[in-house]
Structure 1
Amino acid sequence: MRLTILLLLSTLTLISCSEKSKSEKDLNADIKGTWQLVSSTTTENGLSKTVDYKGELKMIKIFNATHFAFMKHSINQKDSTSFDAGGGSFKLINDDYTEQLEYYKDKNWEGKTFNFKLTINQDTLIQKGVEKVEKAGVDRVITEKYIKVKN
């Protein structure tokens, strides 16, 4: 009887572990690739500001199985001040997306963890969450909309 119960528990544990791994693998497969930012809305102190990335500003975010990187710049050749880039590792479990920012031009942001809700619907990715960096005086909610770049 004990052996039967032990075998049953072992089997259930193996099944639940393999199902979770498969689910996480499928989600990471959906996010892999290059995404172009279409719009970004920032809400801070009750005020919202939306930036359209279809004009002068361009930004992409690239994901592999474990890491992300982003790059932003102005297509105006005279404006080199708008360049921004960073990256780090991430985890995606269901719609819970967590970034660990490892590289960024402002060292106050490095080493910070950011938690977001993420949805992917066909070629559209929406990322929403809080960016809080006390040393940089940042405490805001961001909503970013990306479109997957086709090869």
Structure 2
Amino acid sequence: MKLAFFAFALLFITACQPKNELKGSWELVAAQKIEAGKTTSDDLSGRKMIKILNDTHFSFLNHDLKAGKDSSTAFFAGGGGTYTWQGDQYTEHVEYCSYRPYEGKSFQFTVEFRQDTLIQTGKEEIKELGINHTIVEKYIRVK
């Protein structure tokens, strides 16, 4: 009887924990940059980016779709680290990045969910690199 009660209690506690809507794999489908009042959209037709989140960490992989064989479009970027998430505020703490000046930096975003779509909006600012823009990224959940 005690074992059955313990199993029920464990199941109840697990079921009552808030669901982490961020957790999973996400593919970037649209990206905009707002800098000095001007909005530009990234051309994603020649590349693919995926962001993967578990309960504590994020990672991203971004590469061209020609396997690096076209010197004018060859591209790869990757990185990851930990994140915090409270309400609609999501902060990435970058530990690893193929563009090394991003390592050790944190970036705060507002996140919004629309069914299987994640919209992430926030400012990227690194004064020593002259980076100061807002990004709006739209991801769809990979199933």
The bucket for the TM-score relative to the shorter chain is 0.7 to 0.9
Deviations 1:2-23 (CA, angstroms, capped at 9, x unpaired)? xxxxxxxxxxxxxxxx9xx94x
- Counterpart check, 1:102 vs 2:91: no
Counterparts of 1:96 and 1:36 in 2: how far apart (Å)? 20
Kept in 2: contact 1:91–1:98 (CA 8 A): yes
| Bigger shift: residues 65-74 or 76-85 | 76-85
Which residues of 2 match residues 61-76 of structure 1 at below 5 A?
Answer: 61-76=51-66
RMSD: 1.8
- Following TM superposition, by how much is the alpha carbon of 1:138 offset from its aligned partner in structure 2, in angstroms? 0.5
TM-score normalised by length of structure 1? 0.78
Counterparts of 1:120 and 1:70 in 2: how far apart (Å)? 19
Which residues of 2 match residues 1-151 of structure 1 at below 5 A?
Answer: 22=17, 25-26=18-19, 28=20, 30-53=21-44, 55-77=45-67, 78-79=69-70, 81-150=74-143
Deviations 1:25-63 (CA, angstroms, capped at 9, x unpaired)? 42x2x111100000100011122110143x211000000
- Following TM superposition, by how much is the alpha carbon of 1:71 offset from its aligned partner in structure 2, in angstroms? 0.5
Kept in 1: contact 2:77–2:99 (CA 8 A): no
Q: How many pairs align?
A: 126
- Runs of 5+ in structure 2 lacking a partner? 1-12
Q: Which is helix-richer, 1 or 2? A: 1
* Amino acid in the other structure paired with 1:35: W
Q: Name the SS for the 1:111 alignment partner.
A: coil
- Following TM superposition, by how much is the alpha carbon of 1:79 offset from its aligned partner in structure 2, in angstroms? 3.7
- Runs of 5+ in structure 1 lacking a partner? 1-17
Kept in 2: contact 1:108–1:135 (CA 8 A): no
Deviations 1:56-107 (CA, angstroms, capped at 9, x unpaired)? 1100000000000001001013147410001110011110101101101222
Q: Which runs of 4+ in 1 moved over 2 A?
A: none
